[in-house]
Structures are given as structure tokens and as C-alpha cells.
Amino acid sequence: MNNALVNFINKSRRSVTILFTDAVDSTRYWGHKGDIKGRLMVDQQNRLIFPVIKKFRGKVVKTIGDAVMASFTHRENAVLAAIGIQQVLAEHRKKDRNFALNLRIGIHTGQALVEKRDVFGDTVNIASRIESNAAPDEILISSITATRSHNKKEYKITRQKSFIPKGKSQPIGVYQVDWRDAPSVISDINFNSVFPVLAHQRVELFVYLSATLGLLYFIFQKYLRYLLVEQERVSLLTYSPQQLLTEHPYVFAVGVVTALVLIASLRYLFVMPLLLLRMLKGLFGYALIFFVLYYVTPFIPQTYRYNANEVLYESEHQFVEILSNSTRFYNSNDSHSAVIKIPKANEIYLQEEELQIEGVVWNKILINKDTYGWVERVRPPGLGVAEENLSTNYKFYFRYMDLYLLLVSLLGLIWGFFSFSVKPV
């Protein structure tokens, strides 16, 4: 026996409460209604009960046909989830006469091997046996689960019976949960605005979100930062992501943490608004079309581009972009004067003045409010030092081609929004 494997498995042992549900007479339903309607019935069931399980901090471990297995850290939450499941099904039976779904629910608490994607052990087997002994619309819980639940004011439990589970020699006692007289636990769940998100769908959402963040960063770098920098009041907030990190680290930190939380939350995401999912795929489609056109357009012959290079908007100011990390901002147009700041490559600044002194071009730039500095465009060669380009200056131009890219990419947004399909769960 592999001792390392035994130790690894043993580390996953912990106390857990398992909830099993199973649809009553589902075999007859599938035989009478057919596969399509049978699958739609399972999908409707899952869309109703998954949000309830999620509300009470449960995890849907797996589905087996129309049966659902969920795990809970706290046994009280498992019982409340079972009550919520029966309540939501009862509500839908009242609203829709064609809705005739009835479930049996069984719950048991004990030690089990809790792994990332599954739960193993005797506790799972007993929970399944308890569920199979329940009547339609009934919730049965084991005596172990009931020991922590009988004083709860939200619901009442009564002794039902005892039975010997298959493979066991000793009987176990089970209790019935009176869910019909319990107060509603589902009043704050909006079942119409959310739908369950499964593991493979979280991967898709991760791709959509990553593409959206990449698109926003690209548009900021290529367009928005120039428009922001040209507004002097706004330009002092940020010139580039690198400068934002140095000048306003707290703003950058908040943005990074927010992005990481959004990405990390996909791992624990169970439900999500349908409109938001459509928008995410729409933005993914927008990013896909935008980047394809952006990299393909330069290969299109000039004769087919018409007025693509004509300028729609020209910035009022010149921008100075830093090319080297060895660049220095001086107090005056003299490399022997005091150094005000050491910028990072790719940062951009507003140019206030340009001077040429003894063959060296100097740019006067706005650094902070009422603070100006001087930077060389090219550092002349010296003894053992090669000539180096330190900065460059240019204007920002928004051309027809940029407008075409942004507008045509809307087709990707429309495609992504309307092509998002709600997959059965």
C-alpha cells in the first residue's frame, strides 16, 4: 500500500453534512414525456434548487440524473436548504399546474473524505439511504444531524422511524422536518434574475473577463490616456499605468485588487445575472473583432482604405514619452542641474516648451501642479558612452481608421450578446 497516498487521502477527512435529493416518479415522467422534456424538467429543477443551496453556503458536489448531492459545513444550513428547496417547489406547483415535480430529501452528518470535486465515504452512503426511505415531499434527517437541530426555532422535527441501511447491522433513527409550517427561507432569492454557473462555464467566464480587461487596458493605452493627459487637471492623476503606480500607488492597488477579486470569485461563483453574462460575452466578441482588425488592417492595400488616415481629432498639446529608464528630469535645461525626478519608460507628459541648446534638444514638461522639469530628447555620445534616445515628442491623432475599428467591433459585441446560450444544468 502506498503510504504517501494513504496520508494524502487521510488529510481530506473532515466533518461534513451531505444532502441528497431525488425526484419522485422521474422514470415514468421520462418514459411518458420523452428525453427532451425530461431534460428540461431536470434543468428547471436545478435552476430552482441550486440558488437555495448556494444561499445556505452549500456546495453542489454533483448531479446524477435528476438526483442532486450537496455538502455543507454546518448541519443547520443543510436543513434550512432542504426546507427552502421544498418551499420553492411547493410555490411553483401552486403557480403552474403543469409543474408536478416532487422531491425526496435525505440528510446525514459525519466524517467523510472531502476532495475538491467530490466527497467519499460512509456518510455519503447513509445520506443516500435516508433519502431513498423518504416519502414524496418529505425531508428526513439522521439522529446525528438532529442533535444540533432540534432546538431550532425556524422549524420543528419529529421522530419518524428507524431502519437498517444496506450493508449495516445496526439501525439508525431518522427524523422528519416539518417544512410546511416553517417560515419562508427563500423570500430574498430572485430566481428569475440568476442562473446556475457550472465549472466549465466558469472557465468561459474567465476567458471573457480576461479579454475584456485586456481590451480596456489597450484602449486606455492607445486612446484614453492621451485625452486624459491633455486635460491638465486630470493629467495630474495619471499619465500611464507605470506612473500611476509610482505617483498614486493606492489607486493602482485598488484597481489590481478589484480585478483579482473578480477573477478569483469565478472559482466560487454559483449564480450570476443573465444580462451580465451576455454583456461579458458581448465584450469578449468586441475585443476579438477589434484585435483581429487592428492587426490585419495594416496589410490592406492603401487604395482600399479610402480616407482611413485622415485625422478626426488632433491634440492641442505635444506629448513627451519617456523611452529609457535612465532618463532624468532636471530643474533646468542643463544636465548638471538638480534632478527632480527619475521617470519610468512609457510614461507620457505634457510638453510646455522646446529648446535647442548647443545641438541638444530639451523639452520642458509638466510634472506636478506648478512643477515643471526639463528632459533631453537625445543624450549625446560621450567617452565610452553611446548616444541614447531618452524621450520623444509627438501629437495624438484620432483617425478615421480608429473610428472604423471601434464601430465595426460593435458587430462582435452584438454577436457575443445574442449568441450567449443558457446551457442546461
pTM over 0.75, yes/no: no
Residue whose C-alpha cell reads 478589484 in the numeric block: 258
358 and 315 Cβ atoms separated by less than 8 Å: no
Q: Are residues 286 and 407 part of one domain?
A: yes
Measure the CA angle with vertex 14, ends 11 and 16; round to 5°. Answer: 150
Cell of 297: 488592417
| Domains of the chain: total | 3
Confidence band (pLDDT; 50, 70, 90) for 152? low
Assess whether 275 and 358 both reside in one domain: no
Domain shared by 15 and 148, yes or no: yes
| Same domain, residue pair 281 and 323 | no
∠ Cα 43 47 52 (to 5°): 145
Residue 304 lies in a domain: no
How far apart are the C-alpha atoms of 114 and 138, rounded to whole Å? 27
The three grid cell numbers given for residue 339, joined into one nine-digit string:
534632478
Question: How many whole angstroms separate alpha carbon 139 and alpha carbon 218?
Answer: 54
Which of these, 317, 303, 290, lies nearest to 403 by C-alpha position? 290
Which cell numbers hold the place of 176? 422528519
- As a whole number of angstroms, the distance between CA 71 and CA 120 comes to 11
Higher-confidence residue of 271 and 174: namely 174
Contact 186, 192 (CB under 8 A): no
Residue % of the chain over a pLDDT of 90:
39
Residue of 150, 115, 111 lying closest to 127 (CA atoms): 111
Lowest mean pLDDT among 85-94, 140-149, 172-181: 140-149
Are 312 and 235 contacting, i.e. CB atoms less than 8 angstroms apart?
Answer: no
151 to 81, 82, 158, 266, 397: CA distances (angstroms): 17, 17, 12, 36, 72
Q: Examine the fold and report which residue of 179, 210, 231 is the final residue of a domain before the chain moves on.
A: 179
Quick check: is 193 in a domain?
no
**Which of residues 133, 151, 179 is at a domain's end?**
179
Which of the two residues, 264 and 83, has the higher pLDDT score?
A: 83
Q: 226, exposed or middle or buried, with CB in 10 Å at 0-12, 13-18, 19+?
A: buried
**Structural domain contains residue 154:** yes
| pLDDT over threshold 70, residue 269 | no
Domain region containing 285: 199-299+403-419
* Average pLDDT value for residue range 261-273: 60
Q: How confident is the model at residue 264 (pLDDT cuts 50, 70, 90)?
A: low
Residues 28 and 99 in one domain: yes
| Confidence grade of residue 303 (pLDDT, cut at 50, 70, 90) | confident
Residue 163 lies in a domain: yes
- Asked whether residue 167 falls in the same domain as residue 220, the answer is no
What the block records as the C-alpha cell of 189 is 432569492
- Each residue's pLDDT tens digit, 37-49: 888 888 889 888 9
Distance (Å) of CA 419 to CA 284, 389, 396, 414, 422 = 12, 49, 36, 8, 10
Give the pLDDT confidence of 179-217 residue by residue, as tens digits: 998 999 998 877 655 555 666 677 788 889 899 989 998
Can you give the CATH number for the domain in which 330 is found? 2.30.30
Inside any domain, residue 185: no
Mean pLDDT of 134-143: 94
What angle is formed at CA 215 by the lines to CA 209 and CA 218, rounded to 5 degrees?
145
171, exposed or middle or buried, with CB in 10 Å at 0-12, 13-18, 19+?
A: exposed
**What does the radius of gyration of the chain's CA atoms come to, in whole angstroms?**
32
Q: What's the residue count for the chain? A: 425
- Of the listed ranges 264-273, 309-318, 390-399, the one predicted with least confidence: 264-273
Quick one: pLDDT at residue 245?
Answer: 59
Of 96-105, 224-233, 322-331, which range is least confident?
Answer: 224-233
Give the DSSP H/E element, type plus range, for residue 349. Answer: strand 348-357
Write the Ramachandran bin of 159: left for phi over 0, alpha for psi from -120 to 50, otherwise beta: beta
145 with 107: CB under 8 angstroms?
Answer: yes
Q: Are 128 and 84 part of one and the same domain?
A: yes
- 138 and 257, same domain (yes or no): no
**How far is Cα of residue 227 from the mean position of the Cα atoms in its chain?**
30
CA dihedral 401, 406, 409, 414 (to 10 degrees): -150
Nearest to 293 by CA among 406, 398, 215, 405: 405
Asked if residue 116 is part of any domain, the answer here is: yes
- The pLDDT of 151-171, averaged and rounded, is 77
Establish if 308 belongs to a structural domain: no
- Grid cell, residue 110, equals 459525519
**For residue 170, what pLDDT is reported?**
83
Q: Which three cell numbers stand for residue 29?
A: 415522467
Strand, coil or helix: what is 373?
Answer: strand
203 and 278 both lie in a single domain: yes
Structure confidence at residue 73 as a pLDDT band (50, 70, 90): very high
Q: Are residues 29 and 149 in the same domain?
A: yes
Is the domain of 43 the same as that of 136? yes
Q: At what angle do helices 199-219 and 274-296 cross, to 10 degrees?
A: 50
Tell me the pairing of strands 156-163 and 172-178: antiparallel
**Domain assignment of residue 187, yes or no:** no
- Mean pLDDT for the chain overall: 84
For residues 263 and 294, membership in a common domain is answered with: yes
Q: In Å, what is the CA distance from 412 to each residue of 207, 279, 291, 372, 422? A: 15, 11, 11, 44, 19
Rounded mean pLDDT, 254-258: 74
Residue-wise pLDDT for 87-138, tens only, equals 999 999 998 888 889 999 999 999 999 988 899 999 999 999 999 999 999 9
Query: What is the average pLDDT across 262-277?
Result: 64
Q: What is the CATH number of the domain that holds 17?
A: 3.30.70.1230
Question: With 50 as the cut, is the pLDDT of residue 253 above it?
Answer: yes
